Amino acid sequence: MVPSPDPAVSPRIWQVGALCRAVADFLDARLNPVAVRGEISGCSRASSGHLYFSLKDPQGQLRCAMFRRAAGLLEFMPRDGDLVEVQGRLTVYEPRGDLQLVVESLQRAGQGVWYERFLRLKAELEGQGLFDPARKRPLPRHPRAIGLVTSLGAAALHDVGTCLRRRVPHIPVLLAPAAVQGGQAVGELVGALEALYRRALAGEIDVILLVRGGGSIEDLWSFNEEALARTIVRSPVPVVCGVGHETDVTIADFCADLRAPTPTAAAELVAQPRGELLQGLDGVQERLTRALTRRLDSASQRLDQAAARLGRPSARLALQHRRTAQLGDALRHAVLMRLERGGTSLEGRRKRLGESVERVLRRQGDRLHRAELRLELLDPKLVLRRGYALLTDEHGSVIRKAAQTRPGQSLQATLAEGEVDLTVRQPRLL
């Protein structure tokens, strides 16, 4: 038989809320107010203006809330890694039953353990020249391909991918995935960069993006490791580092050729919008069109001059003139069509287009020169210089047969030098 509990020693049965309030009253009576020294972690500001963070040291961690009235009196914005001293009141957050420190004042107590490590490594690597601006390289204006190092599960991958697809959909992106947080992150980041370096040495990529989103100083610490820093400075191509938010700074930022405030900004730095490239191509089109027009106008003038020299054979020259004009119109049309199609290798298209225009113009110039030589051989003056004369009647018609004349008719003989007026005495028919 189970004995009945003794009412004198049985514990009181509490309601949960009542017990939380009793603990809060006990803490308030026995401990409050309290002053605590610790390192800030997970600091965030709510839209209401309240601050939420944790204070920690190697032995423990305490949730803290600093409401808008007290937070508005701060002379600085607390950040993860700051070592601070706070004063406040311990209480229990009843909806979750959590122990919570409501902070009423906060002041700096030092830089914090993580930040002190950051400063020591930064000074060491800077003294070794890893941050020297002289070794920083400019970004390629038109990269053939872009390397990307980040986590497959990171929001940064989506942000960078969206930006690159919008601005440069024609440029391929080679992704080397790696963890960006945790104990294995440094090794994976170094391995991913090394893999992209081999592709870069093979001429497959021209620039590398190293990105991840924001977080606490502990979350970002992989980007403050010496092994990653030394790997970045060995890159054969420029590296753009976009880690964290705008206010976050890591050792990787100092080692990279260029720091971007966010992952999206890093993508924008290496992705000149396609529209801007096409605008530049429009300028090339305009210059080529003007040059082509000048060449065609010059060729037309040469044809006009040849027509004036050759006299009656000008009909053939006029045909050549029209043919050249038609070819010029066709060439202009071809230039415009090719420029409007767009393409992935704008520099290559521009070079090939210039070479094509030059070849066509050279061929047309050669044809025009040969036509001039042939037409000059047909010049009647060459025949007249051999002692012949050109007879024309009073209407300017050429006399080729004696039967075309009559006695007493006035004719004009054109010699190699000068003209002679003649009168027909008696035609002789052969």
Q: What is the tens place of the pLDDT at every residue in 92-103? A: 887 787 888 899
Tens of pLDDT, residues 140-156: 988 999 999 999 988 89
Tens of pLDDT, residues 306-358: 666 655 555 566 667 777 777 777 777 776 676 666 555 556 666 776 677 77
pLDDT (0 to 100) of residue 53: 93
What is the rounded average pLDDT for all residues in the chain? 82
Higher pLDDT, residue 382 or 48? 48
Global pTM reads 0.48
pLDDT (0 to 100) of residue 5: 53
C-alpha neighbours within 13 Å on the C-beta side of residue 45: 10
Residues present in the chain in total: 430
Lowest-pLDDT range of 40-54, 101-115, 154-168, 296-310: 296-310
Q: Are 114 and 217 in contact (CB under 8 A)?
A: yes
Higher pLDDT, residue 20 or 5? 20
All CATH 3.40.50.280 domain ranges of the chain, comma separated, are 135-269
Nearest of 16, 14, 15, 20 to residue 98 by alpha carbon: 20
Residue 4 has pLDDT above 60, yes or no: no
pLDDT (0 to 100) of residue 2: 47
R_g (Cα) of the chain, nearest Å? 45
Query: How is residue 244 annotated by DSSP?
Result: S
Q: Is the dihedral of CA 20, 23, 29, 35 positive or negative?
A: negative
Topology of 16-110 in CATH? OB fold (Dihydrolipoamide Acetyltransferase, E2P) (2.40.50)
The most confident of 114-123, 308-317, 327-336, 376-385, by mean pLDDT: 114-123
Distance CA 394, CA 420 (A): 13
pLDDT band at 420 (very low <50, low <70, confident <90, very high): confident
Nearest of 32, 35, 36 to residue 23 by alpha carbon: 32
Residue range 135-269 in CATH 3.30.450.60? no
Percent of the residues in the chain that have a pLDDT greater than 90, as a whole number: 31
Distance CA 187, CA 180 (A): 10
All CATH 2.40.50.140 domain ranges of the chain, comma separated, are 16-110
Residues with Cβ within 8 Å of 53's Cβ and at least 6 positions away in sequence, in order, are 40, 41, 42, 43, 44, 64, 66, 78
